[in-house]
Structure 1
Amino acid sequence: MNCLWCDTTIIPEVSWKTIIRLSKPKHLCSSCAGQLTILKGKRCRKCSRLSDEDVCPDCKWWAYHTSQEDPLICNYAVFSYNDTMQEIVSRWKYRGDYCLGKAFQDDYRRAFEQKFSFLPKETVVVPIPLSDERMDERGFNQSRMLADFLPLKTAEILSRRHSEKQSKRTRRQRVSAANPFHMIENINNPVILADDIYTTGTTLRHAAAVLKKYGCPAVYALTLIRG
């Protein structure tokens, strides 16, 4: 098997352990995997930002400037956003390299098992949707791909109005933007929102607010990256 990023042949490790129990095939070589940084250490319990404080300044800002209760209980992220991750995500999302997303499968599922194993079995995964126009551009929804990595039912119950790309907006524009999401059908189960990146948290909170409005009892998020 070849590395999904650099195309180098991945030579499986051979030991008594792997002979007795076959190891899972790796999607990235050790060199490429070593360039990605898994978040470790003390982090904000609300958004996963590395922080010595229990709640980081960003989340305190949200609490201060929002009169309503935060609809998102917490977000848990897997990786930090470094240069290599930026390049990989760019090719995956914007240049249509669907298979590249498989490089994140094991780490994304492992994070779910570490953080959200306490949730009841009726919990469902809701991927953050793309607008129809954005879906036509990309050909697939990276958030749906992430959702499918998890051992839970996936429910695509949100739709999204087309708007300017989040990456082209300033922080102020993101935070003040109108909610672009609408419910397709109601849900009474706890939800984990699946998305690729948490930057300001606006997208996830907009989605969570709509879910809560229509009967969802609790909303969490699992993102691949903490920007």
Structure 2
Amino acid sequence: MTECLLCNVELLTRPSWKSLLALDDEMVVCLECFSRFKRSNQKFEDTLLKNITALYEYNDAMRDYLHQYKFLQDIALANVFKNELRDVVKSKVNIIPIPMHPKRKVARTFSHVEELLKCARISYSDVLEKKDDETMGEKSKKERLAISPLFNLKSNAIIEYEPYLIIDDIYTTGTTLRHAAALLIEAGAKEVEAVTLIRARLND
């Protein structure tokens, strides 16, 4: 018996031809829970970024999901959006996740962005490192916009004159993505796009 990862009800699923051929994955949450997430597929531009795609909007269901996944360390929830994430990046190359600071990764026990990619079976390059262990969620919009550079390139990183795709869990003001994009472009990237699981709004 398979249970929904969010509400623990029994999932009544039947194998599809896609899942049997490993082209798709069965749902890991029930339809009722999944329907509470508000799909966005919003595409927009930001400074230094050619294109940003946000898959979902931030609502009560997503807030609860993030709390359980990131703060209660329920790593199995990385599987919830693997099909959607895989579909949107399947033709992309040079995929780079936004990293956690090593101290915060130890505290959380896993990197939530990297785990999303692993569950979606998406290859990625670990070339960025976070300079401090503060989170953007602890800062106001004004503080985010005034922050000093957030990332360094790892010493063995090689950035070619090619397109790159940054992956993050949530877009609010875009500060994190802009800092990463600026570093990659300075290092030689041709252009930078981004995909985030969620787009949220931040009040001043």
Name the TM-score, length of structure 2 as normaliser.
Answer: 0.86
Aligned match of 1:167 = 137
Runs of 5+ consecutive residues of structure 1 not aligned to the other structure: 47-58, 60-69
Asked if the contact 2:185–2:192 (Cα under 8 Å) also holds between the matched residues in 1, the reply is: yes
Cα 1:82–1:27 shift into 2, 3 Å: same
Larger Rg: 1
Cα 1:212–1:84 shift into 2, 3 Å: same
Runs of 5+ consecutive residues of structure 2 not aligned to the other structure: none
Distance across 2 between alignment mates of 1:20 and 1:155:
28
Cα 1:132–1:151 shift into 2, 3 Å: closer
Query: In the alignment, residue 129 of structure 1 is paired with which amino acid?
Result: P
Which of 53, 61, 77 pairs up with 1:76? Answer: 53
1:127-166 → structure 2 map (5 Å cutoff): 127-149=97-119, 153-166=123-136
Cα 1:13–1:147 shift into 2, 3 Å: closer
Distance across 2 between alignment mates of 1:168 and 1:199:
12
Cα 1:178–1:110 shift into 2, 3 Å: same
SS of the aligned residue for 2:110 comes to: coil
SS of the aligned residue for 1:212 comes to: helix
Query: In the alignment, residue 97 of structure 1 is paired with which amino acid?
Result: D
Decide which structure has greater strand share: 2
Alpha-carbon offset, residue 145 of structure 1? 1.7
What do residues 152-190 of structure 1 show as CA deviations (whole Å, max 9, x unaligned)? 531100011124221111001011101110001121142
Asked if the contact 1:134–1:162 (Cα under 8 Å) also holds between the matched residues in 2, the reply is: no
Asked if the contact 2:19–2:26 (Cα under 8 Å) also holds between the matched residues in 1, the reply is: no
Aligned match of 1:91 = 68
What do residues 2-32 of structure 1 show as CA deviations (whole Å, max 9, x unaligned)? 1111111100158xxx489857421110110
1:219 maps onto 2:192 in alignment? yes
Which of 197, 200, 203 pairs up with 2:173? Answer: 200
Asked if the contact 1:77–1:225 (Cα under 8 Å) also holds between the matched residues in 2, the reply is: yes
List structure 1 segments (4+ residues) > 6 angstroms apart after TM superposition: none
Which of 182, 186, 203 pairs up with 2:158? Answer: 186
Alpha-carbon offset, residue 211 of structure 1? 0.7
Distance across 2 between alignment mates of 1:44 and 1:76:
5
Alpha-carbon offset, residue 45 of structure 1? 2.6
Query: In the alignment, residue 78 of structure 1 is paired with which amino acid?
Result: L
Aligned match of 2:10 = 9
Cα 1:109–1:44 shift into 2, 3 Å: closer
Distance across 2 between alignment mates of 1:147 and 1:138:
17
What do residues 108-148 of structure 1 show as CA deviations (whole Å, max 9, x unaligned)? 112334xxx3x5xxx21111011111111101111112233
